[in-house]
Structure 1
């Protein structure tokens, strides 16, 4: 029986893709603590809003000694659009969902699409983002992880509905704590 990834576990040997389809080894990116925002897909309104909010606080994360990256399943053109429109950190692709699987960020149940929490998150996101074409599985859960320079998980958040991310201030506090 497999166990779920948890704080203290190490994540290594993951290859992601740049928006130009170049392979990027996650291990090579981890030169210091790194916040990894795991989006459903880059066209998801709540995911876009969260990436923009993280980008607004990028200097705070940098000052606290951390890097920030975004990871999505596919759709390089959606990631490129976000970068062109103000997201200031790298947005990478994980078309095989290798990192998602390593962190056990799986799919949510279909009935969460009907949840008032889901609709509230979409309504709030509509102020900052516009829905893009669904390019991955519509029920892919979002998530967030902080990995140390050696790949050790220091924080792991698995979203239980669409757009469910931890508050940015809490993520920043977690970075400062480690």
Structure 2
């Protein structure tokens, strides 16, 4: 469903757009995002907000995949749009041990081309199907903890800023499978 750039697409580069931008740690410290991929590839998960049921579901699937991500020589980095304390509670609740940041200004989202749909997105039946699907897995919406309208995505970023895989959600809950992300990561690492 999402806008995808995979193995055969034209590769984007984020070294000048996203790398110099800052994110905040759960403690409120400012960190340059590009430092995350300066020495190794990164699987970057941009989540909508820290109360989002789809984000909870996605992160609960990504966390068990961290060993496979590390085995490929990469790191999982998660960025949300709430405040630092929200990020801290989210990391604790979902047992996130990899870098987790927040970007309240959402300039990172803009740099990666993440969408911010209009109210008409509420008419998309996939939104409700996705909501039912993740609710059946036990993930319910929490109170808003960031920008409700912001969509996210999953990106693989290499140390030179090249992005061999980009998946931009077109509706809330539209995310690639973890198996697909791991497969794309392995392909990207082999091509390096």
Fold similarity call, TM over 0.5:
yes
Is the contact between residue 47 and residue 152 of structure 2 (CA under 8 Å) also seen in structure 1?
yes
Residue 164 (structure 1) aligns with: 174
Deviations 1:79-127 (A, max 9, x none): 2223213223222011111211111112023222232211121122222
Q: Is 2:31 aligned against 1:21?
A: no
Q: Number of residue pairs matched?
A: 174
Residue 13 (structure 2) aligns with: 9
Deviations 1:4-55 (A, max 9, x none): x973323321111101110111122112110110111011001111011000
> Structure 1 residues 79-88 or 146-155, which shifts more?
79-88
Return the offset for 1:148.
0.5
The structure-2 alpha-carbon separation of the partners of 1:94 and 1:101, relative to structure 1 and needing over 3 Å to count, comes to same
CA distance in 1, matches of 2:152, 2:126: 14
Residue 58 (structure 1) aligns with: 66
Q: 2:106 aligns with which of 97, 110, 130?
A: 97
> Structure 1 residues 79-88 or 100-109, which shifts more?
79-88
Residue 69 (structure 1) aligns with: 77
Moved over 6 A (4+): none
Structure 2, unaligned stretches of length 5 or more?
none
Within-5 A mapping of 1:103-142:
103-126=112-135, 127-142=137-152
Is the contact between residue 113 and residue 162 of structure 1 (CA under 8 Å) also seen in structure 2?
no
Is the contact between residue 115 and residue 169 of structure 2 (CA under 8 Å) also seen in structure 1?
no
Q: TM-score, length-normalised on structure 2?
A: 0.83
2:173 match: secondary structure: coil
Q: Quote the RMSD (CA, aligned, Å).
A: 1.8
CA distance in 2, matches of 1:173, 1:72: 24
Residue 36 (structure 1) aligns with: 44
Is the contact between residue 20 and residue 33 of structure 2 (CA under 8 Å) also seen in structure 1?
yes
